[in-house]
Structure formats: C-alpha cells, structure tokens
C-alpha cells in the first residue's frame, strides 16, 4: 500500500481578541479600590491639623524632623540605613520600630522594602524623620506580607533615615 500526500490538513487562522471583559472588570475594580483607599486616607489626614503632601507615586507624607541644611538625598544604588514602624489607618501597631529596625538596604533592592517606602526614602536626607500614609498599591498590595499585613491594607509609617552610603 502506498500512501499519498494528497490529504492535507487545513490550517485555521487564530482569532484575535480585543480584550477580556474579566480583565476590564478587574481593572475597574482596582481603580475603584484605589480611589476609595485614597479618599479614606485623605479623610484620616484631614483630622490632623498638619498638612500632608501627596507624592506623584501615590503616597502621602509630611516631615516631622527635617534637616535645615541642604544635604544629599539617596540615589539609585546607594545603601541606606533607616528605622521605621508599620501601623494600620486606625493607628494600631502592626510591626513596631523595635521589630523592624534598623534596616540597611540598597535603595533599589526590592526584597524587604515595598515600593512606597523605597520612593519615600528618596525624599529624605540623613536624620530626617517623615510620617507616611501608603495606599495598599504602594505597600504590600494584593498579597499582604503573609504574616500580619492583610491584602489591600493601607499603612502608616514613621521613618527615620539614619545613614546614606553613596556608591559613587
């Protein structure tokens, strides 16, 4: 028996999808959650008589102690040593300064330092102390820390920058 190559398989063209309704729904849900968190943070801040600044990165901050002499701020690759605590928006301690501090990290090292904190440290000089309000999307986000910080938890943190080690 001889076989023939006449039986060709018809190739089907892939169908492209513009977008998934599930993805669109998820994006909208995240936008709504982020807006609600920011509104809640702003209402908590409004109870304080001191002004806070909203960073372009989405968190809020105010200097508690600020060096009056212009000094260096940490840059990409610099190592920083700092102390901090983490609280929920009701002010309840999640992690105390004693549990977390001091920390020495490369400023761009992602492990162990969440995005908002890395960006906040870039605003500081040695010996500055800052109070931050971090929406969850600038903190631990959807996953929490798998210990004490739950999913989508906004945080308050008081941070003191102790030392900057330049890599230049």
DSSP letters along 4-30, please? -TT-PPPPPPPPP-S--HHHHHHHHHH
Q: Bigger pLDDT: 105 or 49?
A: 105
Tokens (6 digits) for 49:
């008589």
Question: Which residues share a beta bridge with 80?
Answer: 105, 164
Instruction: Report percent pLDDT > 70 for the chain.
Output: 89
Which tokens sit at 135? 């929406």
Whole-number average pLDDT of the chain = 89
DSSP state of 138: G
pLDDT for 17 equals: 58
pLDDT at 21: 81
> Which segments of 19-167 does DSSP mark as H helices, in order?
21-46, 97-100, 115-121
Query: In the prediction, which pLDDT does 122 show?
Result: 95
pTM for this predicted structure: 0.82
Domains of the chain are 21-165 (3.10.50.40)
Q: Do the Cβ atoms of 100 and 71 come closer than 8 Å?
A: no
The predicted model gives 117-130 an average pLDDT of: 96
More confident site: 168 or 147: 147
Taking the C-alpha atoms of residue 124 and residue 159, their distance in angstroms, rounded to an integer, is: 10
Peptide bond into 102 cis (omega under 30): yes
pLDDT (mean) for 62-89: 91
Measured CA to CA in angstroms, residue 154 lies from 39, 40, 48, 144, 163 at distances of 12, 10, 17, 10, 27
């Amino acid at each position: 028996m001889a076989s023939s190559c006449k039986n060709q398989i018809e190739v089907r063209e892939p169908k492209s999808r513009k977008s998934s309704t599930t993805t669109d729904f998820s994006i909208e849900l995240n936008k709504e959650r982020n807006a609600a968190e920011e509104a809640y943070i702003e209402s908590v801040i409004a109870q304080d008589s001191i002004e806070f600044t909203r960073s372009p990165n989405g968190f809020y901050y105010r200097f508690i102690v600020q060096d009056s002499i212009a000094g260096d701020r940490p840059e990409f690759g610099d190592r920083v040593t700092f102390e901090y605590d983490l609280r929920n928006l009701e002010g309840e301690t999640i992690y105390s300064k004693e549990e977390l501090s001091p920390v020495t990290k490369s400023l761009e090292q992602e492990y162990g330092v969440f995005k908002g904190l890395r960006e906040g440290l870039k605003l500081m000089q040695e010996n500055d102390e800052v109070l931050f309000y971090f929406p969850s999307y600038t903190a631990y986000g959807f996953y929490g820390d798998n210990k004490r910080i739950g999913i989508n938890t906004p945080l308050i943190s008081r941070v003191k920058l102790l030392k900057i080690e330049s890599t230049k």
